Each structure stands twice: as structure tokens, then as C-alpha cells.
Structure 1
Amino acid sequence: MVKITKITTQKNNIGRYNIFLDNGKGEKFGFGLDEDVLITSGITKGQEISEEALQSIIEKDAAHKCFTLALQYLSYRMRSKKEIKTYLMKKEQNPTHVEETLTRLEEQGYTDDASFAGAFVRTKVNTTSKGPLVIRKELQEKGITGPAADQAMTFYTFEKELEKAVKLAGSKLQTKAKKSHQEKIQLAQQQLLSKGFSSAAAKEAVSLALSDSDQDTDAELEAVRYQGDKLLRKYAQKAEGYELNQKIKMALYRKGFPMELIQKYIEEAKEKDLY
């Protein structure tokens, strides 16, 4: 048997107590205990208690500490069960206590993956430029899959996806970068795909963005001149005449410029004696 000789409050941790014990060899510090566990355990100063009973109380305190950590983590925002589990394991909590905590949180209504998923998707749709594929992947990373993820993603309708994609595509197409109109289209589609938009939405969005803005022929001509001059500097030391002409033509064509503009650039370059 062990005797409880003293119970004192911890100076820097309100709500926790120091328990001092004497096992026949003099008083010494035994362990810390949360106030709730202290009350429910019923231990008092001067009480004699078995080692087994003490270990049971210590175990209850560890489980209580795990649950308290989870509540603190939830106090900032909603979390998925996987997020909570990952956090508690990083805090080196007993895996058994972690599972008990997750069950208790769900029973008391602190966690609901379906509600979390719905709120997560709505927030992402309203505050970011991410497409549905990226958002679904983020849900998966947080442990939300299957019906819960499917239901949450219904908020991100194709109409919402297309509306967001058209804005992004329009911005990319209107860039002042000296690239061919066709290359801008390809870059716009690539950007949409990289942000998690479906290929169908990416193609439709670029098509709609194009119909809303007239192609700037002057800008296209300026771009072919800019790219052509760069290519001329690159190839002029290695080729000349017909070979140089073909190299520049093919390079500009691969960059998406129409052949009529390429030919116009070639003629202008020859007139300026750049060849």
C-alpha cells in the first residue's frame, strides 16, 4: 500500500495538482493529476491506496489529457478525425487513448466528417481558385473519402467550376507576354488542369473566354517578331539561306503562330537584311 501524504496545486498549471506519496521510505513526488480526475477518483490526503489503484488513476489522467488536447485542437476550427488522430500521435499520446478520444469526440458531437467535408468544400470554392480535382484530393488527405466526399463535392457544381475557370482563362489569355495566341490558349488550358479543373471544363472555359475577347492581330504580329528575332539570333551562326529559313519557320510554327504571320515576319526580316 502507498500513502498519499500531500496534494498541492501546480504553480504554473491551473487545474492540475501534484500528488505526493510515501511507500514507507519517506515522502516524494508521485505524479500530476487533472482536477477532474482528482475529483472523480476520490483520493484524499492521508489515504492509503494500492499500487494497482494508483496506476489506474494515472492511466485515467493520461486519457483525460489526450481528450483535452483534442478539444484544444478543435477550438480553432473544425477538423477531420484523421487530422485529430495525426495531431495527437505527433503529441506522443497513447494510441489506445487516441482511439478512445476519437470515439468520445464523435459521441459528444465534436466531430462529424460529413459536416466537416461540406464546410471544407464550400470554403475552398468561395475563397480559392482551386478546381474540384485538387479539392477532392485535399479531402482525401484529410481522411474524407467515399460517400462523405461525394456528397460534399456536389456543392462544387460544373456551373461553378466553369464560371471560375472562365475567369482564370480570360486572365491568362489577356497576358501581355509575347507569345502566340495558340500558345496562350495551350498555357491557359495547362494552368486550369494544374489547378484541378477537369479537361472538359478547361476546354469549355478557354472557348468561352476566347469568344468574349477579340484576338489582337497587332499583338500577335508583335509577338511573332519578338520570337522570330530571338530564333534568328539563335540559329544565324549555325545555318544560313534556305536552312535558316526553314529552322525559323518550323520553330515559330511549333510555338503556335499561323503560317501567314510567320511568312510576313520572314519577308520583313529579309527586307531589313537580318538574314
Structure 2
Amino acid sequence: MKITKIAVQKNDPERYNIFVGDQHEERFACGVDQELLLRHHLHKGMEVDENKLAQWALEDEYEKAYKHALHYVNRRMRTEHEVRLELANKEVTMDHIDQILEAMKERKYVNDQMYAKSYVNLELSTSSKGPGRMKQYLEEKGVARSTIEGALLSYTKEQQLDKAIAVIQKKSRQYKKRQYANEKEEAYRRFVATWLFI
């Protein structure tokens, strides 16, 4: 059988529908990405068989999943665990997930060490979180314990003490305000109760 027609998909100009057949009939075979079309030099009149079509379909599934993963990490930094979960939710095969993550780690698109260090540095400059809260968050993101411990080395004992003191002082001020408000309310209630009987 031969490729009888290659047509651009209506909703995505970078994807193509491949039709195959002979003189008597034509049928839709598969959709492929532009990259795959060029890689295999697909063209009208090219001889194909079912094995080739199955191979192209598998490659296309990989390409689609890889592009989805790229889009997912493009929005913000992600851990390996997050990417794995996202692809699994999209029903990508385990083989493809492993291949995609390998390729993304090679290109540094996914790097748990960098993720953990960036997270710790951001929290150090913008929040009053202690190392325990940071560790818990990173564990939830699937970061390895050794990677977390390495990232937390930048959180010095002195910084931890300064943050703890700042939190205690803030809580103390809040407590005093609440206590003052409660005392004021109590005094008002006593006054009203007394005034009613004057």
C-alpha cells in the first residue's frame, strides 16, 4: 500500500493526517507531527506497511506527550515527580514517561536540585517559614531527602534563629492587640450593665 494523501489538520497547522490505500480504496492511517513528517520524509506515493504505520503512531504519541511536558514545565519550575504525575494523568505510557523525563533531565528542563535550591532561596527572602515547613513542602513535591537536605544547607542556624525571633515578636504583638481588644470589650460590657441600673 502507499500514502495516497497528506493533509494539514484543521485545528493544528503543525499536524498532518496521513491517508493510505491502493487504486480501489483510501483510508485514514494516522495523524503525525510536522517533525515526524520531515524526519521520515513522508510523501504521497511512498510505500508503507502496517508495521511502519504502527511505529509512526507510537512516535507521534511520544512527540505529543513530550510537547505537553514542555508546555507544563514552561509555565513554572516543576519537579520530576510532578511531571511524572502530569503525564500519567494524560494516560501516557510508562516507557514514554521514562524517556521524556530522561530527555528533559539531560536538557536541564527538569532538575530537582535546582528546584529545591530555588525554592529555599525564595522562601528565605520572602517568608518566615522554618526548615521543617520547607522540607515538608519539598517532600510533597517528590524531591529526594538527600536533595532537600542539600538545599537546606543554605538556611543557616543564624537565619533560622532570626526568623524564629521575628515570628515570636509578631505573634506577641498580635496577642497583645487581641488581649487589649478583649479587655476593652469587657469594660464596655460592665459599663453598659452598670449604666442600665443607674
TM-score interval, smaller chain: 0.7 to 0.9
**Partner Cα distance (1:142, 1:110) in 2:** 16
**Partner Cα distance (2:10, 2:153) in 1:** 52
Q: Which runs of 4+ in 1 moved over 4 A?
A: none
| Match of residue 115 from structure 1 | 114
Gaps of 5+ in 2: 190-198
1:158, distance to aligned residue in structure 2 (A): 2.1
| Match of residue 177 from structure 1 | 178
1:146, distance to aligned residue in structure 2 (A): 2.8
**2:137 matches 1:138:** yes
1:38, distance to aligned residue in structure 2 (A): 0.9
Residues 178-226 of structure 1, C-alpha deviations (whole Å, 9 max, x = no match): 2xxxxxxxxxxxxxxxxxxxxxxxxxxxxxxxxxxxxxxxx6xx85x94
Residues 117-152 of structure 1, C-alpha deviations (whole Å, 9 max, x = no match): 111111122222322111101111112123211110
Identity %: 33
| Match of residue 60 from structure 1 | 59
**Partner Cα distance (1:9, 1:146) in 2:** 48
**Partner Cα distance (1:27, 1:124) in 2:** 60
Alignment map for 1:35-74 (pairs within 5 Å):
35-74=34-73
1:14 and 1:159, CA in 2 relative to 1: closer, same or farther beyond 3 A?
farther
Alignment map for 1:122-161 (pairs within 5 Å):
122-161=121-160
3-state secondary structure, aligned to 1:28: strand
Residues 139 and 145 of structure 2 are in contact (CA less than 8 Å); yes or no, is this contact kept in structure 1?
no
**Partner Cα distance (2:23, 2:85) in 1:** 42
1:164, distance to aligned residue in structure 2 (A): 1.9
Q: TM-score, normalised by structure 1?
A: 0.62
Alignment map for 1:89-238 (pairs within 5 Å):
89-175=88-174, 176-178=177-179, 223=183, 226=186
Residues 30 and 53 of structure 2 are in contact (CA less than 8 Å); yes or no, is this contact kept in structure 1?
no
Amino acid at match of 1:3: K
1:10, distance to aligned residue in structure 2 (A): 1.4
3-state secondary structure, aligned to 1:30: strand
**Partner Cα distance (2:123, 2:30) in 1:** 45
**2:26 matches 1:27:** yes
| Match of residue 182 from structure 1 | none
Amino acid at match of 1:89: A
Amino acid at match of 1:146: R
3-state secondary structure, aligned to 2:101: helix
Of structures 1 and 2, the larger Rg is shown by 1
| Match of residue 84 from structure 1 | 83
3-state secondary structure, aligned to 1:75: helix
| Match of residue 216 from structure 1 | none
**Partner Cα distance (1:46, 1:91) in 2:** 35
1:22 and 1:155, CA in 2 relative to 1: closer, same or farther beyond 3 A?
same
